[in-house]
Amino acid sequence: MNNIFKIHKEEIGLTLGGLLVFITFNALLIYHHFNRFTQYARGGFWSIFNNQLHLSGYDPYPYMSISKWDVYYDMYRHPIFSLLFYPLSLLNGGLMTLTHRNCAMFIMAFFTILASVYGLLFAYRIFRRLLDMGKFDSHLLAILLYSFAAVFTSAMSPDHFIFSMFLLLMTLLICGTHFKEHTQPKWYTMAILYFVTAGITLSNGIKTLISTWFSYGKATFRLKHVLLILLFPTLLMVGLSYWQEQAFFIPRHEKGARIAEQKAAKDSTFVLKGKEIAAKMEKIQGKPIEDSKFLKWSDLTTSRTDALVENLFGESIILHQDNLLGDIFLGRPIVVRYKWTINYVIEGIIVLLFLGGIFVSFRKKLMLMLLSWFGYDLLLHFGLGFGLNEVYIMGCHWLFIIPVAIGYLMLRLPSRYQLALRGLLSSIALYLLIYNGYLVASYLL
């Protein structure tokens, strides 16, 4: 674990194969948006990028921040993510001066590909080192993870999800290695992991804290650990969030409010149009528990059953052909059903294998930690309804638990049944790669 980023000899083939796929599909995304997204603008870039990515609802905010740095992500959900783009915006500024082209897509693609490759390697190492699986099975389950639609599309989108999965897999690999060796990670390792996971996606910081508890047990609550792992990183994130809000977020919104007032004064229908848009947004997002900074993202009205079948275990794994890669805020229905019965069959097989894996491994410390993570996600999405209407784009936060559970199931089976399961998983992974890959490629071309 001394150098977690070192690529070992047996990982070269997987690295090169993943790199080829990730470069290809990031290139297709760039090709699809090249003329619009490489425009050189002296002013702002909001009108160029906003609502123009057209990829399942992923946000183009990183493109906007790299083009001309500002805070677009909600600081209460992503406290430090926008800050990471500041040095990249300086680089892009120099490139725009030289080329008179906005290079934000190329810069973001580089880091997206990097996170995708290392996420793939970390997944492989989890199966190979923590579950002690053979090379073929470790390759198979890592590829299965990346054949899932949410991971496949996140590995080419500019949004934060692939970076979240990269960090969660790193956390899983680090903590799992310590579990296996009956040791504890250094406090500063957990503090850094908490800061970056929570800083990019606040909800994932809870998972790092759960990992800390699994790693230290009762010692988690010692004053040293509470101060250094929880309190100090949290205060730093709060301070950074407050500074971003006061210095950038609020001034931009105040400017937008002044512009809206000016338009309302000139156009008597402007206020009515605004109310119609607000009503439409509430219908899409669902009725929140209350209109507060955090609970405004909750949803009490979206059908949990449809969300479970068509979105959580549906679109997260297998893309729907109708409304392909559509955005619910740009016309995609919240619930889309598959045209082919085979997709429901595959979804059902994956869910059954997932449940079987949980059944045979629920006493394993690594699996218990993952189930705690997944339980937290279910509470967030299905209890509070957070992001439930487009829960499929958040699959990178939890989908990796499925191949881990299946890995445990495979290890418990007699060799003749392992062979059958290996063949079944190979068929499913190949189908998903061809099916999801073809739909994405045809959409972008």
- At residue 420, φ and ψ (nearest 5 deg) are -65, -45
* Structure tokens, 59: 């946000």
- What does the pLDDT read at residue 257? 74
Q: Which residues contact 173 (CB under 8 A, 6 or more apart)?
A: 4, 122, 125, 126, 129, 130
- The b/e string for 190-217 (b: 16+ C-beta within 10 A; e otherwise) is bbebbbbbbbbbbbbbbbbbbbbbbbbe
CA separation for the pair 173, 330 (Å, rounded): 38
- Of 152, 206, 144, nearest to 428 by C-alpha is 144
User: Is the dihedral angle over the CA atoms 1, 207, 204, 310 positive or is it negative?
Assistant: positive
3-class DSSP string for 95-120: HHHHHCCCCHHHHHHHHHHHHHHHHH
Can you spell out the DSSP letters for 103-171? -HHHHHHHHHHHHHHHHHHHHHHIIIIIS---HHHHHHHHHHHHHSHHHHHHTTSSSSHHHHHHHHHHH
- Asked if 142 and 374 count as a contact pair (C-beta separation under 8 A), the reply is no
CA dihedral angle for residue 318, residue 322, residue 326, residue 329, rounded to 10 degrees: -120
- What does the pLDDT read at residue 83? 94
**Amino acid at site 69:** W
> DSSP label at 315?
I
Q: Which residues contact 402 (CB under 8 A, 6 or more apart)?
A: 145, 148, 350, 353, 354, 357
> DSSP label at 301?
S
* Structure tokens, 214: 């699994």
Q: 10 Å Cβ neighbour count for 278?
A: 10
- What does the pLDDT read at residue 227? 97
Q: What angle do CA 27, 90, 255 make, to 5 degrees?
A: 100
Burial class (CB in 10 A: 0-12, 13-18, 19+), 372: middle
CA dihedral angle for residue 250, residue 254, residue 259, residue 265, rounded to 10 degrees: 150
For the chain of 445 residues, list the mean pLDDT of each consecutive stretch of 10. 87 97 98 93 82 92 94 89 95 94 97 98 98 97 98 97 98 97 96 97 96 96 96 96 86 74 68 57 63 68 90 97 92 93 98 98 96 96 89 96 98 95 98 98 95
CA separation for the pair 288, 298 (Å, rounded): 5
- What does the pLDDT read at residue 2? 65
- What does the pLDDT read at residue 269? 67
- What does the pLDDT read at residue 50? 87
- The b/e string for 334-360 (b: 16+ C-beta within 10 A; e otherwise) is bbbebeeeebeebbeebbebbebbbeb
User: Is the dihedral angle over the CA atoms 204, 208, 211, 212 positive or is it negative?
Assistant: negative
- At residue 186, φ and ψ (nearest 5 deg) are -65, 150
Residue with tokens 């218990």: 368
Q: What is the length of the chain?
A: 445
* Structure tokens, 412: 């418990």
